[in-house]
Structure 1
Amino acid sequence: MSLTDTSLSNVIRERHSVRKYDPNHKIAREEIEEMLEEATLAPSSSNLQPWRFIVFQDEHAKKELRELANNQEQIETASAIIAVLGDTEMYKSVEKIYRANYEAGYMDEENMRRLIDSTNSTYPHAPVETRKNIASFDAGLVAMQLMLIAKARGYDTVPMGGFDKERFAERFDVSDRYIPIVLIALGKAAGPAFQSSRLPVEDVVRYI
């Protein structure tokens, strides 16, 4: 989907967090995959794309997830819940990523090899906390992009950080390599969006 500047501005202004969803509305897996494919065009550190997703559509699984997410109603009523995870060992994908760039003609072989070698000499030796911060930041970028894409397609969303991440990882077999970051409810609104104000720009910007 191609958005003009004007329509993008409208999408940004019209997107609000929705907590009431039509439980009967279904979204096809194919459309969810299209939205995720567009979302993963978001920028990422060294193009290592440390985001991973678990899509919940099964009613029993959503009921279990609700128990881990402070009993939030939208977990069960939304068409899908998309869990965004961060890969703290994102460097393990470097060969696949940069070889794909080379084969697509985006870089020559020398640069491909240089970037692979550079990544392998730095990322594995970075502190785990640093890699967690990178993964969390990049996952935030892809999550926001996903919510805007959903709104442009006529759907609503709400991000949820309030869930038991340790129990989530244990229940849904998430290895220590990945950190659960946010749950995103996706569906058709069945009630008004949550409205909120923003601080004036002059309160949050400083020019130098």
Structure 2
Amino acid sequence: MSTTSASQSIPLSTVMRERRAVRTFDPTIKISRDEIKELLGEAIQAPSGTNLQSWRFLVIDSQPLKERLLPIALNQKQVVEAAAVIAVLGDLENFKYTDTIYDRTVQAGYMTESAKERKVRNTLNMYEGFPYELKSKYAYIDGGLVSMQLMLAAKARGYDTVPMAGYDLDKFKEAFRIGERYVSVLLIAIGKAAKEGIPSIRLSVDEVTRWNDMSFPS
């Protein structure tokens, strides 16, 4: 068993082009909790609705718990081979952190106290009245943004990832005691590839882009 730290400087364009979905990991490679925290610290620089940062993370790095997750994740072997599996969750009650976030914004000198009071009041009035469907929509958007940032941060440090949406949601929430306050966005396995991910083809920019109106051919 070995622990690796792969901090290095790689151009962002290279990181984006070389990131692959890896499904075969080297099980001897471990990533320290300190480095996982550093990766998450980079990931949470992602944008979020009203800066309420609805993302929450459950890091599963215990081998017995990864084994427990395996059948829940449809026996995808990367679950037990990777150094960790990071569950990205969305907090439907993230608005409860509004005061905390904007108090710190004032302390940092980014906002005046009076502006903060208006912002908090308007945010709470808006979010507290949202129906479940709207709260969950924004949680999934925030979760998607932070997930991509996490995978790019990992690749920049020489690690590999694969996002997984295929798992039994109800069994996952039951096994890991995830309450109704949270929606489950993705599972992300992270480690070092034992087998490189297969390159994939993208539609061209011209095929997926229109200017000023959506007149795509049928």
Aligned mates of 2:8, 2:24 — CA distance in 1:
28
Match of 1:128 in 2: 132
Q: Percent identity?
A: 48
Cα deviation for residue 190 of structure 1 reads 0.2
1:149-200 deviations in whole A, cap 9, x for unaligned?
0000000000000011111111111110101110000001000212210001
What is the TM-score of this pair, normalised by structure 1? 0.97
Task: Say yes or no: does 1:73 pair with 2:77.
Answer: yes
1:103-157 deviations in whole A, cap 9, x for unaligned?
1111000111111101111101011100100000000000000000000000000
Aligned mates of 2:8, 2:194 — CA distance in 1:
27
Task: Say yes or no: does 1:174 pair with 2:178.
Answer: yes
Question: Does the aligned pair in 1 maintain the 2:154–2:160 contact within 8 Å?
Answer: yes
TM superposition outliers: structure 1 runs of 4+ over 4 Å: 1-4
Q: Find the partner of 1:20 among 24, 32, 35.
A: 24
Aligned mates of 1:171, 1:75 — CA distance in 2:
15
Matched positions, count: 206
For structure 2, the 5+ residue unaligned runs are 1-6, 213-218
Cα deviation for residue 25 of structure 1 reads 0.5
Cα deviation for residue 15 of structure 1 reads 0.3
Give the letter for the 2:118 counterpart. Answer: R
Aligned mates of 2:8, 2:41 — CA distance in 1:
14
What is the root-mean-square deviation in Å for CA atoms of aligned residues?
A: 1.2
Match of 1:11 in 2: 15
Q: Find the partner of 2:48 among 44, 47, 66.
A: 44
Match of 2:4 in 1: none
Q: Of Structure 1 and Structure 2, which has the larger fraction of its residues in helix? A: 1
1:64-120 deviations in whole A, cap 9, x for unaligned?
111101100000000010000011111111011110101111100011111110111
User: Aligned pair in 2 of structure 1 residues 65, 198: CA closer, same or farther (>3 Å)?
Assistant: same
For structure 1, the 5+ residue unaligned runs are none
What is the TM-score of this pair, normalised by structure 2? 0.92
Task: Say yes or no: does 1:97 pair with 2:101.
Answer: yes
Give the letter for the 2:144 counterpart. Answer: G
Question: Does the aligned pair in 1 maintain the 2:26–2:193 contact within 8 Å?
Answer: yes
